[in-house]
């Protein structure tokens, strides 16, 4: 069994729901109302995505996040 580390992006929608996505696994995401539940669900989602097929595994490396302001 191999261990893998994944970068997770967590956002909050206008209703307060937390949404987690894994950039290196296409289509791998979940949501929850609390962070502990979200972390449990995203771990399960990652495991399921890996079971479906490693062809979805991206080799890109996370660099960072940056916020930018745009006037419209």
pLDDT band at 66 (very low <50, low <70, confident <90, very high): confident
Placement of tokens 């996505």 in the chain: 21
pLDDT for 53 equals: 73
Cα 22 to chain centroid, rounded: 3
pLDDT (0 to 100) of residue 19: 98
Residue 58 pLDDT > 70, yes or no? no
H or E segment and range at residue 49: helix 35-52
Domain boundaries, the chain: 9-56
Say if pTM beats, i.e. exceeds, 0.95: no
What are the pLDDT digits (tens) for 2-51?
788 899 999 999 999 999 999 988 899 999 999 999 999 999 999 999 88
């Amino acid at each position: 069994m191999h261990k893998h580390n994944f970068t997770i992006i967590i956002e909050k929608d206008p209703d307060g729901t937390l949404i987690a996505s894994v950039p290196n696994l296409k289509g791998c995401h979940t949501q929850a109302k609390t962070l502990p539940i979200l972390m449990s669900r995203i771990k399960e989602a990652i495991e399921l995505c890996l079971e479906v097929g490693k062809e979805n595994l991206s080799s890109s490396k996370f660099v960072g996040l940056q916020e930018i302001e745009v006037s419209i």
